[in-house]
Structures are given as structure tokens and as C-alpha cells.
């Protein structure tokens, strides 16, 4: 079993829909990261959070440490949000990340 | 503007050949990483370096080598010992003790001829 699991693996939605991507992990962590990978391959860090909730524009990330679960929400989705969204966790005392396999999101106009 | 530059974007390797992927950053970051990405899988760590002239093996270091002679440069060599090198390779960097400021390069797609 992978230490970081994402669901769904693939998600297709219509423009304007509210999107939720989930991430569950089975190890102790110091922080959880959400990243976005565009079709060209480059990766951008969206959020790093260790508790509660963070918001940036139409993106909201939440984490429940007790349940070892995080969600990434996109409000008023747009075709330009189409990308692979990746969850990763960092553990204490090192710089290494444990990566989820990613969720491929397609937003249709 | 600061950032990470990976080159080339596409690279082809012949059987028995070593190839080197370049990664340069002008962000003054201490830590640098090399990841391998295969379709449908999470990123896997090949090597990482937290300081000049020092580096550590990641989860899949066999068949790869690195050097960190300068703070801004962390080249990855895919040796002939790596029997399945076809993958997308990503370089990343961050300041010491700050994964929140993790930056990635645009990646290199390596294929075998």
C-alpha cells in the first residue's frame, strides 16, 4: 500500500463546477504539500500546510491531522485549471517528500 | 528573474551510453533534488544535496550519479548501468529548512533509441 494515496485518479468536470481532490496518508508528517503539474511537465507548488486551512484565489486546501487526510478544492473551475494535482508529505528531520501518484483534472468549457 | 533551468528538454540515449542532464538554479538555494517520474506513478527521489560537495542517495540511485561542485549546479548522469532510463526527470531546489519554497525545473524527457 502506498504511503500517500490520492483520489480520484482522473476527474473530468464542466467549467464552473466545484472540484474536490482527496489525499490520505499513512505516516507521521510535518507538513503536506499540494502541487500542480501542467501538460508541459513543469511543477508549481500551491500550498504547504500542517494544520487547518489555506486559501489562494479559487484554491482552498484543508488538512485533518487526526484523520490523516487533506483535500484540495477548486471553486468556479475553469479550463485553465486542467492539470495534474499532486499531494506530497514531508516528514520530520529531513528534506525528503513522499509523493502521491497525482490526480489528472480536465475541465471542459 | 530567479528560477531553475533544466536542459535539454528532450534527450535520446543509445545503448551503452552515458548522458548528463543539466540543472542550474539562481535562487541561492542550498538544497537540490533529482526526481524521476514514470506515467501513473508518483515522483521518486534519485539523489539530493543539502550543501555543496555533499549529496545523498535517494530511493532509486542505482545507475545514476551526481555532483555538486557549485551551489547553483547539480548535474545528473544517467549511466549505462541504468537499464530502464526512459522517463521524465525533474530537478528541484529549496532553501535550507524551507520546503515551502520548493521550486521545480521544467523537466527533461529522456528516451532510449
pLDDT in tens, A86-106: 999 988 656 678 999 999 999
* Residue B112: predicted pLDDT: 87
Residue pair A47/A54 in contact by the 8 Å Cβ criterion = yes
Q: Worst-scoring range by mean pLDDT, A63-67, B77-81, B99-103?
A: B99-103
pLDDT in tens, B56-81: 999 999 999 999 999 999 999 999 98
Of B31, B40, B99, the CB nearest to A31: B99
* Chain B interface includes A43 (CB < 8 A): yes
Residue pair A96/A88 in contact by the 8 Å Cβ criterion = no
Element spanning B68, H or E? none
Cell of B57: 542517495
Interface A-B, measured as beta-carbon pairs within 8 A, has a size of: 54
* Chain A interface includes B48 (CB < 8 A): yes
Cell of A47: 500550498
Q: Which residues of B touch A40 (CB under 8 A)?
A: 106
Q: Is the CB of A43 less than 8 angstroms away from the CB of B31?
A: no
Beta bridge partners of A83: A105
Give the pLDDT band of residue A49 (cuts 50, 70, 90): very high
Q: Which residues of A touch B88 (CB under 8 A)?
A: 41
Residue pair B76/B11 in contact by the 8 Å Cβ criterion = no
* Residue B2: predicted pLDDT: 74
Q: Is the CB of B106 less than 8 angstroms away from the CB of A42?
A: yes
Separation between Cα atoms, residue B58 and residue B46, nearest integer Å? 5
pLDDT in tens, B16-51: 899 999 999 999 999 999 999 998 888 999 999 999
Give the pLDDT band of residue A1 (cuts 50, 70, 90): low
* Chain A interface includes B61 (CB < 8 A): no
Residue pair A31/A50 in contact by the 8 Å Cβ criterion = yes
Amino acid at each position: 500500500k502506498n504511503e500517500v494515496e490520492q483520489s480520484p485518479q482522473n476527474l473530468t468536470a464542466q467549467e464552473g463546477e466545484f472540484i474536490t481532490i482527496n489525499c490520505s496518508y499513512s505516516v507521521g508528517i510535518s507538513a503536506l504539500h499540494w502541487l500542480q503539474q501542467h501538460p508541459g511537465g513543469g511543477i508549481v507548488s500551491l500550498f504547504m500546510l500542517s494544520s487547518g486551512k489555506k486559501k489562494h484565489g479559487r484554491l482552498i486546501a484543508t488538512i485533518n491531522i487526526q484523520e490523516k487526510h487533506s483535500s484540495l478544492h477548486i471553486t468556479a473551475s475553469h479550463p485553465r485549471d486542467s492539470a495534474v494535482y499532486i499531494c506530497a508529505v514531508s516528514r520530520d528531520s529531513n528534506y525528503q517528500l513522499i509523493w502521491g501518484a497525482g490526480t489528472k483534472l480536465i475541465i471542459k468549457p | 528573474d530567479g528560477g531553475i533551468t533544466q536542459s535539454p528538454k528532450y534527450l535520446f540515449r543509445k545503448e551503452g551510453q552515458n548522458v548528463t542532464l543539466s540543472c542550474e538554479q539562481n535562487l541561492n538555494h542550498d538544497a537540490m533534488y533529482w526526481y524521476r517520474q514514470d506515467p501513473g506513478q508518483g515522483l521518486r527521489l534519485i539523489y539530493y544535496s543539502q550543501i555543496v560537495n555533499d549529496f545523498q542517495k535517494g530511493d532509486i540511485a542505482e545507475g545514476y550519479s551526481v555532483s555538486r561542485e557549485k551551489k547553483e549546479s547539480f548535474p545528473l548522469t544517467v549511466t549505462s548501468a541504468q537499464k530502464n532510463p526512459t522517463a521524465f526527470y525533474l530537478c528541484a531546489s529549496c532553501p535550507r529548512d524551507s520546503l515551502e519554497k520548493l521550486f521545480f525545473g521544467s523537466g527533461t524527457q529522456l528516451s532510449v533509441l
